[in-house]
Structure 1
Amino acid sequence: MRFSKFAAIFSVICATVAISGCSSGNNPDATAGQGKVKLVFWGHQEDAFVDAYKKLIEEYQSEHPDVEISFQAFPYEIYNQKLKASFSARTPPDIAEMFGTWVPEYSRNGALAELPNGEALRKEYYDAPLGGYMMGGKLYGLPMEYNIENGGMLIHPQMLKEKGIERPPATWNELVEDARKLTVRDDKGIKVKGFDFVSGDNITFTLLSLILQQKGRFWGEDDHVNFRTPEAVKAMTALKALVADDRVTDLTAFGGQLDTSDYFFRGSSAMTYRGPWTIAAGLDNYKVQDFDYVPVPSFTSEKPVFAAESGWGTVVAEKSKAQAEALDFIQFMARKDHLKAWNLGTFTVPAKKEVAEDPEFVRQNPYMKTSLAVLRYGEWIGPIADRDYFFKQVNDHFQLIATGQESVEAGLQTMERAINDSQDNHK
């Protein structure tokens, strides 16, 4: 997930635009008719995001001199809890940046304002990033990005060429065959991984996508998952084989401080299944030029459908005393040119169709070409009640399965029971 890579690890840092303020619940001036309308906007601390929001706030204020927006950013590690505390105390910010997986908890409890023109807005966005912001057919926020972790992979073209591989794999069988050729071992184990997908997010996303590419489903009734299907068994068996049989990757770096993309840019893997947000790290942090970002072939002959979460977006508190102005501001940010500038500045994939389909966007960001080509195949991951728990269950049992401590069937069943218990506990 993008924020896990770039989240700050230090104390609270507040990035303030205009005059710093408190939440609308403590801000008696956050209403029209008392001079300037003052809005408080909270977000998570990531430099590119903060800079992009500041630019939009400045532009909005120049067009609306009667509105003053105070933007405050907090480290990701504390941000979600701070949001929960503020909404529980009924002193939320007027506008909040939220990750799409968090939004349903707030919209279910009546804490968020509905977008007045939601039906028209829905048609402007891809379904996958919009999913978390929908509840009962109503729209409770707007996604700023398409949080895509699947569909593309980093490759070192020179490594492929040295093994006699002239082009990236076009089928799943070719992917496995090429990965075997590209894997380099020494007496200590794997030195260069042929195909690495073993990261905290990608294990789950890959499993779900392989199920979907077989035309299978992983949700049953009552917001329960169903991992007892033939498609789920086949998908998990294939992932296990990559570790246990094909031995093109291993679990040695799983759970460490570095991301799989870090190892890729250090030359420790030839192909790595990861989201496009990792490209910025390679260009900026590692100064690597000898790499490309190419499509991952479908597991079947079907289209490369995949599961995706709703990414970062903005919502308005139902209790905001300046709700109309707050809603106007988030729709101002969602205008094509504004959102395009935000996506380019943050190196994020557009959630809005007209931005993603703009030839100028691709020209300015050529590494995004692979991701943009598959956006229409994304499906919302679904009504996950506890994102961290869901992913942990998949990751934990995958490790047990890959190391032979659990059978594929037993691991999937145990995983399913644990996730469904969690789903019930959050109702």
Structure 2
Amino acid sequence: MNAYKKAITAYEALHPDVKIDYQTFPYDVYNQKLKASFSAKKPPDIAEMFGTWVPEYAKNGLLAEIPDGNQLKNEYYEAPLGGYTLNDKLYGLPLEFNIENGGMLIHPDMLKAQGISQPPSTWDELVADAKKLTIRDGNRIKVKGFDFVSGDNITFTFLSMILQQNGKYWGDNGHVHFQTPEAQKAMTALTSLISGDKVADLTTFGGELDTSDYFFQGGSAMTYRGPWSIAAGLNTYKVKDFEYVPVPSFTTNPPVFAAESGWGLVASQKSKQQQSAIDFIKYLSTNDNLLDWNLNTFTVPAKKEVAENPEFVKANPYMKTSLNILKLGQWIGPIADRDYFFKVINDHFQLMTSGQETVEAGLQNIEKSINDSQDQHK
């Protein structure tokens, strides 16, 4: 909020004839309010949107094209730009790289206590270390060796494990393909971490606290989470004895990963102030302003020059792991209903780990449910 207000004040000082009325809404009502405003043909001139929301608005002709799209595309990483692109045209600019993969929180002292001198560098080492680090109280896991069980990370990890095998999960007509050898191997390994290796469980899944909260409370030795969780450890929990390190690739290939396009700004096609709206978006997206934005919001830059700026790197030493792999990110793809997509994978993941569904049947059901949803949104 303060980052927006600062940018608006600076822009208005440069453009005395422009007045920006900044409004905020609680997240749980914002998406519906946004849809209602566009449906009523009374949209805001500028709107903040999450990347997975943008394609629906763009394909319905509700958003203004951002000029100089081809030049701008070269300035941003692929993954955050994906959701804002339709038919090779830009319909907004991302302010952040929404990355949930590639890095994990670790307690170095917990690793040392088990004779582990350094973080795992291969997937096999990760599993072996996680087994050593798991502490049980009878049948209950007291400290999870490797916690990845969150609403986002189950799906992101699954998709990235497919990509790391040089596999694909998108087919024709906006359909997913999860009945592939790569998907089968990925989901088998992922569910085995709970059902076979028993380095984590589902006891806290869907609860009020995030997996990172449990980590900072000492409930896990290694937790797979996005770099945004670092701020919670430093500012909320005041924890210093942790590190944020790379998660090894599932294969010997580079740790490529799937990522959504994060929060960014779009301009309404119907806006009477369209030119000024686009001008503000481009103003906020200049290197200096975006650097200030990312620093103040503790977000990962979507723009290459900002992410590589020594000032940003120096101010965010914990983010080094994420910054090193941004070029490996691939856009998650044209998901029609983000919440449903993730829910379907999460629901069947629970059934598979509990033995109520085989991996093969689970993947078949996931594929059918998601493809039905994709068809409904065409």
Could you say which TM-score interval applies, normalised by the shorter chain? Answer: over 0.9
2:102 is aligned to: 151
Three-state SS of the structure 1 residue aligned to 2:48 is strand
What pairs with 1:182-193 in structure 2 (closer than 5 Å)? 182-187=133-138, 189-193=140-144
Three-state SS of the structure 2 residue aligned to 1:69 is coil
1:127-176 CA deviation, whole Å, 9 max, x = no partner?
10000000011000000000000000000011001111000000000000
Counterpart pick for 1:398 among 335, 349, 364: 349
2:67 is aligned to: 116
Counterpart pick for 1:135 among 68, 76, 86: 86
Q: 1:360: Cα distance to partner?
A: 1.5
1:173 is aligned to: 124
Instruction: Kindly indicate whether residue 174 of structure 2 is the aligned counterpart of residue 219 of structure 1.
Output: no
1:42 is aligned to: none
Counterpart pick for 1:259 among 206, 210, 224: 210
Q: 1:188: Cα distance to partner?
A: 5.1
1:242 is aligned to: 193
Counterpart pick for 2:229 among 238, 254, 278: 278
Instruction: Kindly indicate whether residue 284 of structure 2 is the aligned counterpart of residue 333 of structure 1.
Output: yes
Q: Which has the higher contact order (CA 8 A, sep 6+)?
A: 2
Counterpart-to-counterpart distance in 2, 1:188 and 1:89: 55
Counterpart pick for 2:145 among 194, 217, 225: 194
Counterpart-to-counterpart distance in 2, 1:102 and 1:292: 33
Instruction: Kindly indicate whether residue 36 of structure 2 is the aligned counterpart of residue 85 of structure 1.
Output: yes
Instruction: Kindly indicate whether residue 58 of structure 2 is the aligned counterpart of residue 97 of structure 1.
Output: no
Counterpart-to-counterpart distance in 2, 1:322 and 1:379: 34
2:76 is aligned to: 125
Counterpart-to-counterpart distance in 1, 2:193 and 2:138: 20
1:161-214 CA deviation, whole Å, 9 max, x = no partner?
111100000000000000000000002500000000000000000000000000
1:292-321 CA deviation, whole Å, 9 max, x = no partner?
100000000000000000000000000110
Counterpart pick for 1:424 among 369, 375, 378: 375
Q: What is the TM-score of this pair, normalised by structure 1?
A: 0.88
Counterpart-to-counterpart distance in 1, 2:171 and 2:67: 32
Instruction: Kindly indicate whether residue 365 of structure 2 is the aligned counterpart of residue 411 of structure 1.
Output: no
Counterpart pick for 2:326 among 352, 366, 375: 375
AA aligned opposite 1:66 = D
After TM superposition, the structure 1 stretch with the greater mean CA deviation from structure 2, 143-152 or 114-123, is 114-123
1:313 is aligned to: 264
2:308 is aligned to: 357
Q: 1:68: Cα distance to partner?
A: 0.7
Q: 1:119: Cα distance to partner?
A: 1.1
Counterpart-to-counterpart distance in 2, 1:64 and 1:165: 58
Counterpart-to-counterpart distance in 2, 1:58 and 1:66: 13
Superposition RMSD in Å: 0.5
Deviating runs (4+, > 4 A) in structure 1? none
1:47-106 CA deviation, whole Å, 9 max, x = no partner?
xxx111111011111111111111000000000000000000000000000000000010
AA aligned opposite 1:414 = N
2:245 is aligned to: 294
Three-state SS of the structure 2 residue aligned to 1:71 is coil
2:220 is aligned to: 269
Instruction: Kindly indicate whether residue 112 of structure 2 is the aligned counterpart of residue 161 of structure 1.
Output: yes
- Gaps spanning 5+ residues in structure 2: where? none
Three-state SS of the structure 1 residue aligned to 2:142 is strand
Counterpart-to-counterpart distance in 2, 1:283 and 1:246: 31
Determine what percentage of the aligned residue pairs are the same residue.
70
AA aligned opposite 1:354 = E
Q: 1:225: Cα distance to partner?
A: 0.2
